[in-house]
Amino acid sequence: MKKNLLNLFVVVVLALLLIGGNVVAQDSLAQIKEKGKMVVGLDDSFPPMGFRDESGEIVGFDIDLAKEAAKRIGVEVEFKAVDWDGVILSLKNGMIDVIWNGLTITPAREESIDFTQPYLENSQSIIVQADSDIETKADLAGKVVGIQLGSSAVSAVESEPEVLAAFEELRKFSNNTEALMDLQTGRVQAVVLDVIVGRYYMSKRPGQFKVLEDNFGAEKYGVGVRENADSFRKALNKALDEMIADGTAAEISKKWFGEDIVLK
């Protein structure tokens, strides 16, 4: 009898846990709407995805996309600058509701958070000074290479241990702006970063840098959300689909990149 009661208790507890999990998944959008806003976590020194302009306002390609998505969902949007190295923890502990800032979809990240559909293609590219004799990854042997702490570029480089082992040093920076400043002054000989971001910086400093054909792999950007926030994630996907279908995403892309590079 006691054993039967124990078994029944276990079944009830498991059922409640499953029901609870479903409620979280079903109510994630309702929770955002009840709050009246979605809080977007970002590195605010990551042009052209999200950065501060001369007046201190946060602007960028992802900023415009997030504003439009929030409007279509029916909520306000708040942008919160966070330490990029801890951005996933900020999402998981509820400090922010989404990571919308050139976030690469990787297997490691998919183990701890969920993603919307991908909306941009990218690659982890190598940027050097325009007059550099570095032409391939092999030429990075004995060189100091810069990289942003916590970025997907770190895992991309670490996935090629033989190349990494040949560096004199893999120097990590809090953001890409600092890494590129050190490249400009010669304190590092190369920087590995998102090609989309790299080409934006290059357009601001014509003739100073070049992107190598060799890179550390292709990838895709998505919007990061908490695990099991299914209804909220679906609403974001719906907003993205609508923006792509009606041309809004293309207009935003042309504003920041001069062409439509959004995934269809």
pLDDT digits (tens, 9 = 90+) for 45-73: 888 999 999 999 999 999 999 999 999 99
Helices (H) and strands (E) in the chain, counts: 10, 13
Considering the domain architecture, whether residues 106 and 231 belong to the same structural domain is answered as yes
* Burial of 154 per CB tally in 10 Å (0-12, 13-18, 19+): middle
Please determine, for residue 18, whether its predicted confidence score (pLDDT) is greater than 50. Answer: no
Task: Tell me the β-bridge partners of 225.
Answer: 98, 114
Please determine, for residue 12, whether its predicted confidence score (pLDDT) is greater than 50. Answer: no
Considering the domain architecture, whether residues 8 and 97 belong to the same structural domain is answered as yes
Please determine, for residue 142, whether its predicted confidence score (pLDDT) is greater than 80. Answer: yes
Considering the domain architecture, whether residues 233 and 103 belong to the same structural domain is answered as yes
Model confidence at 11, in pLDDT bands (50, 70, 90)? Answer: very low
User: What number is the average pLDDT over the span 211-215?
Assistant: 94
* Burial of 143 per CB tally in 10 Å (0-12, 13-18, 19+): middle
Higher pLDDT, 151 or 15: 151
252: in domain: yes
Are 42 and 221 contacting, i.e. CB atoms less than 8 angstroms apart?
A: no
164: in domain: yes
Distance, CA of 194 to CA of 215 (rounded, Å):
10
Take residue 105 and report the two structure tokens written for it: 């979809």
Are 112 and 182 contacting, i.e. CB atoms less than 8 angstroms apart?
A: no
Distance, CA of 153 to CA of 102 (rounded, Å):
12
pLDDT at 23: 37
Please determine, for residue 103, whether its predicted confidence score (pLDDT) is greater than 50. Answer: yes
Q: Tens digit of pLDDT for each residue in 79-102?
A: 999 988 899 999 999 999 999 999
Please determine, for residue 1, whether its predicted confidence score (pLDDT) is greater than 60. Answer: no
User: What number is the average pLDDT over the span 10-17?
Assistant: 44
Percent of the chain's residues with pLDDT above 90: 75
Considering the domain architecture, whether residues 131 and 86 belong to the same structural domain is answered as no
Please determine, for residue 8, whether its predicted confidence score (pLDDT) is greater than 60. Answer: no
Based on C-alpha coordinates, what's the Rg of the chain?
A: 21
Provide the domain limits for residue 190: 121-220
Count of structural domains, the chain: 2
70: in domain: yes
Q: Tens digit of pLDDT for each residue in 178-200?
A: 999 999 999 999 999 998 888 88
264: in domain: no
CATH number at residue 182: 3.40.190.10
